[in-house]
Amino acid sequence: MSNIILSVKDLTKKIKSKTIVDHVSFEVKKGEIFGLLGPNGAGKTTIIRMIVGLINKTAGEVSINGYNLDSKYTQAMNQIGAIVENPEFYNYMSGYKNLLHYKRMSEKDLPNDRIYEVAKLLKIDHALKQKVKTYSLGMRQRLGVAQAILHSPSVLILDEPTNGLDPQGIREFRENLRELTKHGVSILISSHLLSEMELMCDRYAIIEQGKLIHIESMNETTNLEEDLLREVTFTTDDSEQAQKVIKEAKNIPVNVLSPTQISVSITYNEIADMNKLLVENDRKVFEIVFVKKTLEDRFLELTNQSTEVNPL
């Protein structure tokens, strides 16, 4: 079985002479969280709406778990769970009855205990008997996800799902999504919260003016890949002497930041060796810090936007 759950190839949307989405291609792997980033109006929501069949595409192909959206529409749609707008429920009914209503609408024959299964997974099982009008916004969002995964889809698609949530609600929502991936669910998510996407996503794509300009793993962005060079700062007893030791042994550039601090570009696996080198040459090392690039840094770098402008 393929590891690719969602495949988007040359997805294009034109309205008269205007191109809204221009030949966008990407793949989402099983059990990963894949983020769509981009400025307002970049085309993220249009891409999501085409994937879930809410609007027609001009060109391109979408396949979900091997089912082509054009030739096997019903089978493909059965593989998708989605929240594109804010989830809507019958407020006068309990959470359980709302989920029961959606279960009856499903083309799959779902057992009743599936409701309790997804509710427990999303930590709302304690509130199933309460009317939805008593739910907080965070609980509504989780109930929305419960409804979206009730039929055991292969991929969950979310467009700005944390809008309006407080920090605690966002954190809980992130933990819920991570728990879903442990059960094999793939997630495609669009959000304007870069710091949150950094904590949430395994990989991401940047969309600008309808075009996909970059795809990267979050580990690459934050320099967590072991074989990637990263800037590492060493706090020692004497920067000049530490610089001399490294240059003589390694012949690599060393930046002197202060009388006690130097920085070098090395890989993760070389950090311990560098520390050993300094100590063996009678240099005291008090602190080692590697400079971590943020998703916001990478986003602004790739989109050439000023930090004075809200990137999303």
What single-letter DSSP state applies at residue 138?
H
Task: Specify the amino acid at residue 242.
Answer: A
pLDDT (0 to 100) of residue 311: 40
Domain residue limits, the chain: 4-221, 230-290
Decide the pairing of beta strands 59-64 and 4-15.
antiparallel
| Same topology between domain 4-221 and domain 230-290 | no
Q: Which residue has the tokens 């800037």?
A: 231
Rounded to whole angstroms, the Cα distance separating 169 from 26 reads: 30
Which of these CATH numbers, 3.30.70.1650, 3.40.50.970, 3.40.50.300, 3.90.230.10, describes 230-290?
3.30.70.1650
pLDDT tens per residue across all 312 residues of the chain: 579 999 999 999 999 889 999 999 999 999 999 999 988 888 999 999 999 999 999 999 999 999 999 999 999 999 999 988 777 899 999 999 999 998 888 878 888 889 999 999 898 999 999 999 999 888 998 999 999 999 999 999 999 888 778 888 888 888 989 999 998 999 999 987 888 888 999 999 999 999 999 998 988 887 655 667 778 999 999 999 999 999 999 889 999 999 999 999 888 888 999 999 999 999 999 999 877 778 887 888 788 643 333 344
Closest CA to 221 of 158, 311, 305, 291: 291
Handedness of CA 297, 303, 305, 310 (dihedral sign): negative
Give the angle subtended at the CA of 220 by the CAs of 219 and 224, to the nearest 5°: 50
Q: Are 12 and 59 in contact (CB under 8 A)?
A: yes
Q: Are 73 and 53 in contact (CB under 8 A)?
A: yes
Lookup: tokens for 222: 């934050």
Q: Is 61 helix (H, G, I), strand (E, B) or coil?
A: strand
Question: What's the count of helices (H) and strands (E) in the chain, helices before strands?
Answer: 11, 14
pLDDT (0 to 100) of residue 75: 92
Rounded to whole angstroms, the Cα distance separating 137 from 172 reads: 12
pTM of the model: 0.80
Fold classified for 4-221: Rossmann fold (3.40.50)
Q: Report the run of H or E that residue 117 belongs to, with start and end.
A: helix 113-121
Rounded to whole angstroms, the Cα distance separating 38 from 214 reads: 11
Closest CA to 26 of 203, 200, 202, 184: 203
End-to-end CA gap in the chain: 37
Write the DSSP string, 165-201. --HHHHHHHHHHHHHHHHTT-EEEEE-S-HHHHHHH-
Q: Which residue has the tokens 């999501």?
A: 48
